[in-house]
Amino acid sequence: MDINKITYIINGAIFEVNRILGPGFLEKVYENALLIELRERGLRVENQVPIDVNYKGTNVGEYIADLLVEDKVIVELKTVEKLTKFHEAQLLNYLKATGHKVGLLVNFQKEKAEINRMVLNLPEGHDSFSSVKSTDENV
């Protein structure tokens, strides 16, 4: 499936979750609701996906991505008053570590969910620094 189609479906799911739940819940509540909504819309989605960062074959760190959709789009969820450069850097690290090109940074703390689409352009010949472990957790 085309990445633009995937992000279009994800955006619709985010708006539906936000419409029903509104602001004020913990991040995990939105994660679980979005997991259900994305699967109902026919997308393959994993949550709490470990991302190992390797340096010369040695694991030097690990991140946990909130959602990985269709093995193409990383979705990072927040419930904060304001998204910051730190939140953007977090998602960019996930993209850089996995080699995925597109991520969505979502803040559910507002009346209307805030969605920032981020695209990573890796240098020529650069794949990634890590591997993504598949851990499909059910709600």
Written as one string, the DSSP assignment of 38-99 is HHHTT--EEEEEEEEEEETTEEEEEEEEEEEETTTEEEEEE--SS--HHHHHHHHHHHHHH-
Q: How confident is the model at residue 133 (pLDDT cuts 50, 70, 90)?
A: very low
CATH number for 3-132 (one of 2.60.40, 3.40.1350, 3.40.50, 1.10.1060): it is 3.40.1350
Q: Under a CB-based contact definition with an 8 Å cutoff, are residues 65 and 76 in contact?
A: yes
Whether 122 has a pLDDT exceeding 90, the answer reads no
What rounded mean pLDDT belongs to the chain?
89
Q: How confident is the model at residue 124 (pLDDT cuts 50, 70, 90)?
A: low
Whether 135 has a pLDDT exceeding 50, the answer reads no
Q: What residue has token string 């020529």?
A: 124
Distance CA 100, CA 95 (A): 5
Whether 131 has a pLDDT exceeding 60, the answer reads no
pLDDT at 95: 95
- Please state the φ and ψ torsions of residue 23, each to the nearest 5 degrees: -80, 165
Mean pLDDT of 36-55: 96
Look up residue 134 and give its two tokens: 């598949």
